[in-house]
């Protein structure tokens, strides 16, 4: 698949997507959004990888939506732009394998929203995160008002969104916006270790676990446990479940076929 703004490398069961629009700190313009859409909507039945990593080229993860493009929008245009961007964020959130954000630098506005649509966020010590939209007289539009409060709680989300302040990686870790922080030169090794470990598990069980967690967060505990029960039952229809359980009984490592 040919992209102008994404570099995609697939190795050891992991697809690494590097957003590469360095002159604008990887800002999400229409082309980047459309290429992300292309990747996440056409790889549903992918056999070559079982985990995805998203990172940015240069000193930024993603410094936001493209401000030049935003400055041209009227109200219907803003609605459509938010709709398309949110659709892409949801396609990442619902992608049938785990997606890790490797936050190498600035993750601001739409960049922070992109990271929040991923399953796990790992940051470098130099990362800076925030929702600075109020500084531009606008609000987040790619799900930030919704996902940030779910991740860090209502008060902290309001503080970040109302002030537009950037926070460093240590503070992001403290409030639960990122899950791990590593020195800059170790970031990708740590992320790849985690991604390869995840990719070594059974693909159907990763997919079912991701679905159960995501859907469960939108419903009450009792309905969530019902969802889990259904997913648990479905899981037993896959050969990998038989293999994993059998391998334990036979005191050997499982050989998952991802089906
Ligand atoms: N959009 C477009 N260009 C950008 C962006 C951006 N978000 N961020 C940086 N750039 C460009 C700069 O204009 C500059 O270009 P040039 O060299 O041509 O002047 C280049 O990238 C390098 O940037 P700086 O020189 O500013 O680099 P610094 O290291 O001095 O500063 C910062 C880095 C602090 C990250 C700074 O660039 C900055 O503040 N950027 C804007 C951050 C921001 O406000 N992001 C939020 C944008 S709004 C948003 O994301 C809304 C999401 C929802 C949209 C919903 C659709 C309706």
Give 203-231 pLDDT, tens digit per residue.
999 999 999 999 999 999 999 999 999 99
Query: What DSSP line would sit under 25-60, residue for residue?
Result: TT-B-HHHHHHHHHHHHH-TT-SS-SEEEEEESTTE
Backbone angles phi, psi at 186, to 5 degrees: -105, -10
**Which of 74, 72, 60 minimizes the C-alpha distance to 24?**
60
What distance in Å separates the CA atoms of residue 255 and residue 234, rounded to the nearest whole number?
Answer: 20
What per-residue confidence (pLDDT) applies to 245?
A: 97
Cα separation of 42 and 170, whole Å? 36
pLDDT tens for residues 28-67?
Answer: 999 999 999 999 988 766 678 999 999 999 999 999 999 9
pLDDT 10s digits, 126-138: 999 999 999 999 9
| 232-244 pLDDT, tens digit each | 999 999 999 999 9
Counting runs of H as helices and runs of E as strands, what totals does the chain give? 11, 10
In short, whether 56's Cβ falls inside 6 Å of ligand 1 is no
According to CATH, the topology of domain 203-249 is Lyase 2-enoyl-coa Hydratase; Chain  A, domain 2 (1.10.12)
Q: What is the pLDDT of residue 44?
A: 62
- Domain residue ranges in the chain: 6-199, 203-249
Atom of ligand 1 nearest to the CA of 25: 21
Range of weakest confidence among 42-56, 136-150, 162-176: 42-56
* Catalytically active residues, by annotation: 113, 133
Comparing 37-41, 47-51, 139-143, 170-174, which segment has the lowest mean pLDDT? 47-51
CB 65 near ligand 1, within 6 Å: yes
Measure 12 CA to ligand 1 centroid, in angstroms: 34
Residue 43 has a pLDDT of 72
Look at domain 6-199 and name its CATH class.
alpha beta
Please say if the pLDDT value at position 161 is more than 80: yes
Q: Indicate if the pLDDT at residue 108 is higher than 80.
A: yes
The minimum-distance atom of ligand 1 relative to the CA of 136 is: 44
Predicted confidence at residue 45, as pLDDT, reads 61
Ligand 1 atom 19: residue of nearest CA: 24
Label the pairing between strands 180-182 and 120-124.
parallel
Ligand 1 atom 17: residue of nearest CA: 23
For a ligand 1 pocket test, name from 59, 60, 64, 82 the mutation site with the most ligand atoms within 8 angstroms of its C-beta.
64
Ligand 1 atom 15: the closest Cα is on which residue? 24
CA of 9 from ligand 1 middle (Å) equals 26
What is the best residue among 67, 75, 78, 141 to mutate for testing ligand 1's pocket, by most ligand atoms within 8 Å of CB?
Answer: 67
Alpha carbon separation from 258 to 198, 203, 207, 246 (Å, rounded): 12, 5, 11, 15
For tokens 């803003």, the residue is 78
């Amino acid at each position: 698949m040919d992209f102008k703004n994404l570099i995609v490398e697939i190795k050891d069961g992991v697809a690494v997507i590097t957003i590469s629009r360095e002159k604008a700190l990887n800002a999400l313009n229409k082309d980047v959004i459309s290429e992300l859409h292309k990747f996440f909507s056409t790889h549903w039945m992918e056999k070559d990888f079982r985990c995805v990593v998203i990172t940015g080229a240069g000193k930024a993860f993603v410094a936001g939506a493209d401000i030049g493009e935003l400055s041209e929008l009227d109200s219907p245009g803003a609605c459509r732009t938010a709709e398309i961007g949110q659709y892409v964020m949801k396609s990442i959130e619902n992608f049938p394998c785990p997606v890790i954000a490797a936050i190498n630098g600035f993750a601001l506005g739409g960049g922070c929203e992109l990271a929040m649509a991923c399953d796990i966020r790992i940051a470098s010590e130099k990362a800076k995160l925030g929702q600075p939209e109020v500084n531009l007289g606008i609000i987040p539009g790619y799900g930030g008002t919704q996902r940030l409060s779910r991740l860090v709680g209502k008060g902290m989300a309001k503080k970040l969104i109302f002030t537009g302040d950037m926070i460093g990686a240590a503070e992001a870790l403290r409030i639960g916006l990122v899950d791990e922080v590593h020195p800059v030169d170790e970031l990708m090794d740590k992320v790849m270790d985690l991604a390869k470990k995840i990719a070594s598990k059974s693909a159907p069980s990763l997919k079912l676990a991701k679905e159960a967690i995501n859907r469960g967060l939108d419903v009450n505990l009792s309905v969530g446990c019902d969802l889990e029960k259904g997913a648990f039952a479905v899981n037993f229809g896959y050969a990998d479940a038989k293999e994993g359980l059998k391998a334990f009984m036979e005191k050997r490592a499982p050989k998952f076929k991802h089906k």
